[in-house]
Structure 1
Amino acid sequence: MTSAACAVENGDGCVYCMLDVHAGARREEFPAGVNVWRSAVGCSIRAPPVEGKANKAIVALVSSVLDVPKSSVIIVSGQTSSVKRVCITGIDKDALVKTLDSLL
């Protein structure tokens, strides 16, 4: 099993996590595996990638799984890409990696 550590790094006041997003999926899942080539954690959402619906769904799903407020999850790059860099506050790197690895 591959660890999510390859997709997580410390930032200024937050932890950055790279996501490999699959919009329009049949079911929502986070984490949905680890893509080692992209150094990203998989994230599947039902919402289509139209008018920011997918990005809102990503924020809601990630915040729910990590038990942090939606305001603690910010997509900082990749708004129109399937690979997104997300800034998460309210959790440290070690706790994030441990949580993601336990769910994989």
Structure 2
Amino acid sequence: MPYITEASDGSLILHLHVQPRGAKSRIVGLHDERLKISITSPPVDGKANKEVVKFLSALFKVNQKNIILKAGLQSRKKTVVITSISSRAIRDVVQMFL
């Protein structure tokens, strides 16, 4: 499974491995074909999930309402749906960190 796939409606599905309580929020690399990100928030009361959305919004320069956490609310393995951006734009941003 690649870390990014395109849905039939044109939205993008991003497969993440999230590492909470990191020193800073950033892309770490790839882990089991998922994009591994580190975030500073702890996995308590949805704080980590909120920070994932906030981090991706800032990273890809899309509005937070265009990012939906679809699966993995209580897991390190998360699936996120992103609209209003191309897969090429996401890959270009990610490549800067790999």
Q: TM-score, normalised by structure 2?
A: 0.91
Gaps in structure 2 of 5+ consecutive residues:
none
- Counterpart of 1:103 in 2: which secondary structure? coil
- Quick check: which one's strand share is greater? 2
- Counterpart of 2:62 in 1: which secondary structure? coil
Which residue of structure 1 lines up, in the alignment, with residue 29 of structure 2? 33
1:21 aligns with 2:15: no
Structure 1 runs of 4+ with >4 Å offset:
none
1:6 aligns with 2:2: yes
1:72 aligns with 2:66: yes
- Whole-Å separation in 2 of the counterparts to 1:14 and 1:80: 23
Superposed CA RMSD in Å reads: 1.4
Which residue of structure 1 lines up, in the alignment, with residue 82 of structure 2? 88
1:58 aligns with 2:52: yes
- Quick check: which one's helix share is greater? 1
- Whole-Å separation in 1 of the counterparts to 2:97 and 2:61: 14
User: How many correspondences in the alignment?
Assistant: 97
Gaps in structure 1 of 5+ consecutive residues:
none
Give the Å deviation of 1:102. 2.2
AA matched with 1:60: K
Percent identity over paired residues? 29
Q: Which moved more, 1:47-56 or 1:92-101?
A: 92-101
